[in-house]
A = this chain, B = another copy of it.
Amino acid sequence: MANDRVTIWTLDWVPDGPRGFVRDIRLRWACEEAGIPYRIATVSFDGRETNHLDRQPFGQVPMLEDGAIRLFESGAGLIHLGGKSDILMPADERGRAETIQWIFAGLNSLEMVTMPWVVLQWSKEDVPTISGWLDNRLAQMESVLADREWLVADRFTLADLVIADVLRVDLVRKHGDRPASEAYVARITSRPAFRKAYADQMTHFEEADETRKEDDNG
């Protein structure tokens, strides 16, 4: 029954650049890890700044829908999915709290630095204040990853999903020599659930290419 599934909202199409990195992948990946059934729904790429502000005040994706619950922010969606399966998030208080801690570490301490830096790289701007901040944070994360295989509970959790997803961005991955981080990203993104989520996102946008081509020809 369709109602048993969660719905992950993403864009109907994006250009080549962001493919494989649109954040619906975080929710797809979590569902694949835990075997949570889901379906994909879309909002239009054209007009995305304003066409779904009633559901997402910043005009971004993804959104997650689960019965009466509608959430934006991938971090919030992940914690919601984590509550459905201890494959994603340990059920004990400490394991749960530490998983949430690393989700915030990824999305606030780490991505707060990587994302502005990446945006500035795209626009070919060199801003030493930001790149110095990046180097510092990536070095700190390298130290953490040099010491352990998993971030929480000696096994894969949403903590690894988020940290690996932030670190796997091409420009970040190629920046500097950080062997522990590179090995970690390679290992976490070789998980079948990530590969499935990634392939499905690529297919989703490739299929949209066909539709757009037909529209152009029509």
Instruction: List chain A positions with a Cβ less than 8 A from chain B.
Output: 53, 57-60, 68-69, 71-76, 79-80, 93-94, 97-98, 100-101, 103-105, 107-109, 111-113, 115-116, 119-120, 123, 125, 127, 129-130, 133, 137, 140-141, 143-144
Number of copies: 2
Known: A58-B109, A58-B137, A109-B73. A100 touches B79 (CB 8 A): yes
Give the distance to chain B from A117, nearest Cβ to Cβ, in Å. Answer: 9
Instruction: Please name all residues of chain B whose beta carbon is closer than 8 Å to the beta carbon of A94 when the two chains form the complex.
Output: 68-69
CA distance A211 to B115 in the complex (A): 40
In contact, A112 and B109 (Cβ under 8 angstroms): no
Give the distance to chain B from A82, nearest Cβ to Cβ, in Å. Answer: 11
Contact residue among B108, B120, B133, B137 (Cβ-Cβ distance under 8 Å from A129) = B120
Query: Residue among A104, A120, A133 with the most chain B CB within 10 A?
Result: A104
| Supplied contacts A75-B104, A108-B111, A113-B116, 20 more A-B pairs, CB within 8 Å | A57-B105, A57-B143, A58-B105, A58-B109, A60-B109, A71-B98, A73-B104, A73-B105, A73-B109, A79-B100, A107-B107, A108-B112, A111-B112, A112-B115, A112-B116, A119-B129, A119-B130, A119-B133, A120-B129, A127-B130
In contact, A71 and B130 (Cβ under 8 angstroms): no
In contact, B140 and A59 (Cβ under 8 angstroms): yes
What are 17 A-B residue pairs whose CB atoms fall within 8 Å in the complex? A53-B140, A53-B143, A58-B140, A68-B94, A69-B94, A69-B97, A71-B101, A72-B105, A76-B104, A104-B107, A108-B112, A112-B112, A112-B115, A113-B116, A116-B130, A120-B129, A125-B127
Give the distance to chain B from A112, nearest Cβ to Cβ, in Å. Answer: 5
Known: A57-B143, A127-B120, A129-B125. A97 touches B80 (CB 8 A): yes
Give the distance to chain B from A176, nearest Cβ to Cβ, in Å. Answer: 17
In contact, A73 and B101 (Cβ under 8 angstroms): yes
